[in-house]
Structure 1
Amino acid sequence: MRISIINEVRQLLPIAIPAVLAQLAQMAMGVIDTVMAGQYSNQALAAIAIGGGLLHPVMIFFVGLFLAFNPIIAHLKGANADDQIGANFRLSLLLGIIISPIAVTILLESRVLLVWLNVDPDTALLASGYVNATAWGLPCFLLFLALRFCNEGLFATAAIMTATVVSIPFNILLNYWFMYGGLGIQGMGAIGVGYATSLVWLIMFIGLLGYTLLNPKYSTLMIFRQWSLPTMKSTVEVFKLGFPMAITLFFEVTMFAAVSLMIARYPTQFVGAHQIALNIASLAFMIPLGMSQAITARVGFFNGRGDPLAAKLAGYTGISVAALLSAFTSTTMIILPSLLVSFYTQDNEVLLIAVNLLFFAAVFQFSDCLQVSSAGALRGVKDSKIPMLITAVSYWLVGFPFGYYMAEQAGLGVNGYWMGLIAGLSTAAVLLLYRWARLSRNLSRLPISN
């Protein structure tokens, strides 16, 4: 068994490391946006934080929908059903095209929440402008997701990493150009960050499209040489699997977004500190998130091949490795909070508040790791409906209500909302890990989808 675990780690890491680096690179762009906005002004920082609270739920919902292609294609790869893989690539791109106008419309209309929440009018105007600017690039982001999760199912995480990492210098240059102006462009502050993001999404999509078109290993898949789509049964499977995944991710991100929007009613220094602490926590979360995508592909591959013991081993190995890595990031937040926050701001008041919040972030890192890696293993066996219900209970019947009570009724303010995050993520971690433990004992009796 020990040799088997070591072998699985050796197989997992070449997939997981690029997936983690891709997530870190994508998150780094969000960190860059936050840092550059913070250097511009506190109001710009608050506008990015509030605008992100509107943008991320829309983005994450569609991430969940496209995420279904990872386990589906991994199953097909494990079953040697190459003739069906190309058709699923085409279906993912077609869905990206069809969904784009819907996603853009939702994003543009989301700004009405700022009025409902009585956000400061000047900050709300900047936040709305930021959201409107990002809407131009949303179709490219969705098409990037379509190619990303299909490639993940084929273990091609290095290509996704490359497309994302290469975009980082463009993100910095475009942010600076559009924020401060020059070469015929008028400085736009926080709104300029939105336009820069749109162009970066275009660059990422072009890079991954080029890889998919030119990769000789994909020549037998006939991705762009045929126009047939999967059967209706296979297409329905995408929605049956993807829609609960979308709702699952939506429940989690909306809990965080709701907390951010509730905190948006507080003074600007609390909003900025919350955004800084959340950025650091989110950056650390990219490690287990990337691991979870590799876990999905590995478990899905073995389940498609009809090897339940290997699927079980892949799931537990991935969860364990992710937990070890998250223990390290949590420790770092506890030991070096001031150093981490100082990269974002030199404002003493904001720094002290953010350092305090970073302790809460360190506490929920481990729970967040267990819930996302367990969910990744469950996706590998195409289990998405029960995890959806688990997250609904964890985040919206436990997490947010508890946070609201602690913040508004118990008088703990921002700290209370972060306690709610801990409660919600810990509940999800326990229930999802228990769900995986139950299913993994009976993998040999689960249906194998080819």
Structure 2
Amino acid sequence: MDQEHQPIPQAGQPLRQRWQGEIRVLAVLGGPIVVTQLLQMATGVVDTIMSGRASAQDLAGVSIGVSLWIPIFLFSLGTLMALTPVVAHARGAQQDDEIAPAVYQGFWISLLASVLIVALLVNIDPVLGWINVNDEIRPITAGYLYAMAFGMPAILGFNVLRAYADGLSLTRPAMIASIISLAVNVPLNYVLIYGKLGFPAFGGVGCGWASAAALWVSFAVMIGYVALARGFRGTWLFTRVHPPQWQQIKALLKLGVPIGCSYLVESSMFSVIALFLAVYGAVVVASHQIALNVASLVFMIPLSLGLALTIRVGFLSGAGQPLAARFSAFTGVALALIYGTVSAVCLWVFAPTIVSWYTPEYQVQRLAAELLVLAAVFQLTDAVQVTCAGALRGYKDTAVPMVMTVVAFWLLCLPLGYGLGMTDWFGPALQARGFWIGLVLGLSVAAVFLSTRLYLLSRRRILPPQTGHGFSAQVR
């Protein structure tokens, strides 16, 4: 067992000692993940702030561009995240020889996804016309997405290696690569957005080129780390290239596609909201994007806790420790509740101050602050639903959570938000406020669904003993 990174709980420990031990393990696993997530989110925040300082039009153009490419990227990312529980199970079951073949199947999936996404993003202008993006914003959005297309192979490859490293309980490499990426992105933004060092001022489009370059840097750093660090040597990743194995790819997709769909459902909901709001002009779109940036930044900590739970629950399940896996899962949920309470209070109190960091325009500040107050309302339920989803992935339970997510977000949240925000069905249209009220309902329902699923699954099943060996057995 990997006792250094994930100790197995000892039988008969006092409850307080078990709590302390489990919190310590989750902190060791989750600490670098939190930093990685915050750094990756900081890239988006920096892009938003720096483009906003150029003009409201640049901010709106980048915001719509992000709203379009993020769901596509997150679907691919979620699919690749199936590698994390697979690797964690293999490490827990002492089947390290099965890890490298699984990782290479992830690389083949990422290569195909890259080709499809690049082809879409470089030809996005007709789509922007079809969805009636404002004419003054449309060229900025198209240019931003064209530039981002060249970074997609890098970020997908990076996330294959990240899922591999996380599954081995080695969560620091991705953190280090993300630090370096942000250090590259910020000065490149400055040069390309505002036109420094002899470059023309690209405005919001410059964000795309800076981010694409930074993504390739992070991928290169991750390759070097995996190739040279001692903790990766036992899995022999670069000893030989494993060719595509269609049965293994099919098994990995069976586990990963529902994760990708869950990510797509949630993220595309935000994207659809942004596109609906585009008809109201730059002020409304910019306000929505600022509030979404802040809420997403706060969300990174419970999201990271959920990722740590995927690793921990997957490892303990693979090691044949179902009771310890259940205890770990609900320890994580309890921590999420505590964090959600603190973040709700902070958003409620400091909303005006926070939005003032993004833009000097009073109208944008006022609306964004109102939306942040609504974000404070759903902090607890948002933290619970994402940690429960992470624990369920550790159990390799992905299909049912996907259905629950679809119901909560697309059948409840979005229709209510549209009715409140875009129509007079319930009174005067509330625009962005109406959609954010819908978010409160959707996230609350998702939290109830997923926490119930986690309670019942961990109680009756956890993970049955493996009846076979190898990659296909791991993903069943």
Short-chain TM bin: over 0.9
Unaligned runs of 5+ in 2: 1-14, 467-472
User: Cα 1:447–1:248, aligned 2, differ >3 Å: closer, same or farther?
Assistant: farther
Post-superposition CA distance 1:174-200 (Å, at most 9, x none): 001111223342221111110001001
Unaligned runs of 5+ in 1: none
Match of 2:88, SS state, is helix
Measure how far apart 1:209 and its partner are: 0.9
Alignment of 1:168-179 (within 5 A): 168-179=182-193
Match of 1:122, SS state, is coil
Residue 87 of structure 1 contacts residue 230 of structure 1 at CA under 8 Å; is this kept in 2? no
| Equivalent residue, structure 1, for 2:408 | 394
Q: Which amino acid aligns with 2:316?
A: F
- What is the rounded CA distance, in whole Å, between the counterparts of 2:375 and 2:87 in structure 1? 35
Q: Quick check: 1:421 aligned with 2:439?
A: yes
- What is the rounded CA distance, in whole Å, between the counterparts of 1:271 and 1:220 in structure 2? 49
Post-superposition CA distance 1:273-331 (Å, at most 9, x none): 11111100000001111111100000000111111001101111112112212221111
Match of 1:326, SS state, is helix
Residue 58 of structure 1 contacts residue 106 of structure 1 at CA under 8 Å; is this kept in 2? no
- What is the rounded CA distance, in whole Å, between the counterparts of 1:326 and 1:115 in structure 2? 40
| Equivalent residue, structure 1, for 2:376 | 362
- Cα RMSD of the aligned pairs, angstroms, is 1.5
Of residues 52, 61, 86 in structure 1, which corresponds to 2:66?
Answer: 52
Residue 367 of structure 1 contacts residue 426 of structure 1 at CA under 8 Å; is this kept in 2? yes
Matched pairs, number:
450
Post-superposition CA distance 1:149-185 (Å, at most 9, x none): 1111111111111110222121110001111223342
Measure how far apart 1:233 and its partner are: 4.6
Q: Which amino acid aligns with 1:436?
A: L
The structure whose residues are more often helix, as a share, is: 1
User: Cα 1:55–1:230, aligned 2, differ >3 Å: closer, same or farther?
Assistant: closer
Measure how far apart 1:13 and its partner are: 0.5
Residue 395 of structure 2 contacts residue 463 of structure 2 at CA under 8 Å; is this kept in 1? no
Q: Quick check: 1:164 aligned with 2:178?
A: yes
User: Cα 1:366–1:113, aligned 2, differ >3 Å: closer, same or farther?
Assistant: farther
- What is the rounded CA distance, in whole Å, between the counterparts of 2:353 and 2:363 in structure 1? 15
Match of 2:280, SS state, is coil
Alignment of 1:40-189 (within 5 A): 40-189=54-203
Match of 1:265, SS state, is helix
Of residues 451, 454, 465 in structure 2, which corresponds to 1:433?
Answer: 451
Measure how far apart 1:104 and its partner are: 1.1
Match of 2:100, SS state, is helix
Residue 89 of structure 1 contacts residue 150 of structure 1 at CA under 8 Å; is this kept in 2? yes
> Sequence identity of aligned pairs in percent?
37
- What is the rounded CA distance, in whole Å, between the counterparts of 1:193 and 1:75 in structure 2? 39
Post-superposition CA distance 1:30-60 (Å, at most 9, x none): 0000000111101000001111111111111
User: Cα 1:443–1:228, aligned 2, differ >3 Å: closer, same or farther?
Assistant: same
- What is the rounded CA distance, in whole Å, between the counterparts of 1:445 and 1:114 in structure 2? 46
Residue 117 of structure 1 contacts residue 265 of structure 1 at CA under 8 Å; is this kept in 2? no
Match of 2:136, SS state, is helix
Post-superposition CA distance 1:199-248 (Å, at most 9, x none): 01001101111110001222221110122358655433211100111111
Q: Quick check: 1:301 aligned with 2:319?
A: no
TM-score (norm 2): 0.92
Of residues 287, 299, 302 in structure 2, which corresponds to 1:285?
Answer: 299
TM-score (norm 1): 0.97
Q: Which amino acid aligns with 2:285?
A: V
- What is the rounded CA distance, in whole Å, between the counterparts of 1:63 and 1:365 in structure 2? 24
